[in-house]
Amino acid sequence: MLKHIAAMTMAVAVTAIAALTASAAKAGPTLDRIIKEKKMVVGVAPWNRFVLLNPKSGEYEGFIADDIHNFEQMTGIKVQFVNTTWSGLVAGLQAGQWDVVMSGLGATPERAIAVAFTDPIGYLSSTAMVRADSSVQSFEDLDKPGNVVSVVSGTAAQQFAQRTFKNAKVNPLSDTAAAVLEVMQGRSTAYIGDSVSNAMRAEERPTELRNVKFAADKTEWTTMNHAVRYSDLDLVVFLNTYVRAMQLRGWYRTLAEKWKLPPELATGPR
């Protein structure tokens, strides 16, 4: 009798565990559709060397675009790109216009109120863009009375500058072009932006501009992430499996080298 009861108890336990496992493994509607249809719609915003439509080939190119193409090959899921603006990425996601944002959107507590983020695919730090003939070599050189640093209003760079600069004046402007122009015309001592964008601008205009990196304790790091709706958290798990595998294989270092991007983009702070 005892053996019979024990056998029945074990059978019930196994059945319960199997049911729980099946329930836990069931994908939500978005991921289920993606897997069945082998198609995922992705919202992107133009970003040179990251995800940009080549008008000649009609194909998207760059660090993120290459990563998406690699994802397609590994999973068999075809990705449909939808081009939008930076300001429209989150709104389009919430409206159901695309399944995932894949434009290197930075994960911040403010944005996390609206969307769920994956693990990082890259890292950016705050640096200064100065004129090529400027004497500024460090954060300390810049944070002096009489100096002016331009930033784009509403960005992480503005928040960083206003928190950290105690002596230099912070001048918020409407867009990047206006903020960089202030530097080129000598009205601002420096423009504060992300390490990758500033490095590319300095590379494009070496006789006019120079990128100044700050010491580790004087800069601030942000991440580049994919984003989904909170109703699709299982999609975060799915995407993270890919991202973590690629991190371990050194894939993002390879992409940074290919697109001539700073190596710390793949490694982050050391």
Check residues 159 and 18 and name the one with the higher pLDDT: 159
pLDDT digit string, tens, across residues 65-80:
999 999 999 999 999 9
Counts of helices then strands in the chain (DSSP H, E): 11, 12
Query: With 80 as the cut, is the pLDDT of residue 92 above it?
Result: yes
Identify whether the C-beta of residue 198 lies closer than 8 Å to the C-beta of residue 144.
no
Query: Rounded CA gap, 227 and 115, in Å?
Result: 6
The pLDDT value given to residue 31: 97
Query: With 50 as the cut, is the pLDDT of residue 41 above it?
Result: yes
The pLDDT value given to residue 209: 97
pLDDT digit string, tens, across residues 173-203:
988 889 999 999 999 999 999 998 899 899 9
> What value, to the nearest 5°, has the Cα angle with vertex 217 and ends 211 and 222?
65
Identify whether the C-beta of residue 44 lies closer than 8 Å to the C-beta of residue 93.
no
In this structure, what are the phi and psi dihedrals at residue 124, rounded to the nearest 5 degrees? -125, 145
pTM for the model: 0.79
The distance from CA 226 to its chain's CA centroid, rounded to whole angstroms, is: 6
Identify whether the C-beta of residue 42 lies closer than 8 Å to the C-beta of residue 68.
yes
The pLDDT value given to residue 8: 43
The pLDDT value given to residue 23: 44
- Mean pLDDT score of the chain, rounded to an integer? 89
| Cβ count within 10 A of residue 108 | 14
Query: Rounded CA gap, 149 and 170, in Å?
Result: 5
**pLDDT > 70: percent of the chain:** 90
Query: With 90 as the cut, is the pLDDT of residue 24 above it?
Result: no
| Cβ count within 10 A of residue 39 | 13
| DSSP state letters, 183-205 | HHTTSSSEEEEEHHHHHHHHHH-
> What value, to the nearest 5°, has the Cα angle with vertex 184 and ends 180 and 185?
115
Identify whether the C-beta of residue 224 lies closer than 8 Å to the C-beta of residue 62.
no
DSSP letter, residue 28? P
Identify whether the C-beta of residue 105 lies closer than 8 Å to the C-beta of residue 42.
no
pLDDT digit string, tens, across residues 206-260:
999 999 999 989 999 999 999 999 999 999 999 999 999 999 999 999 999 999 9
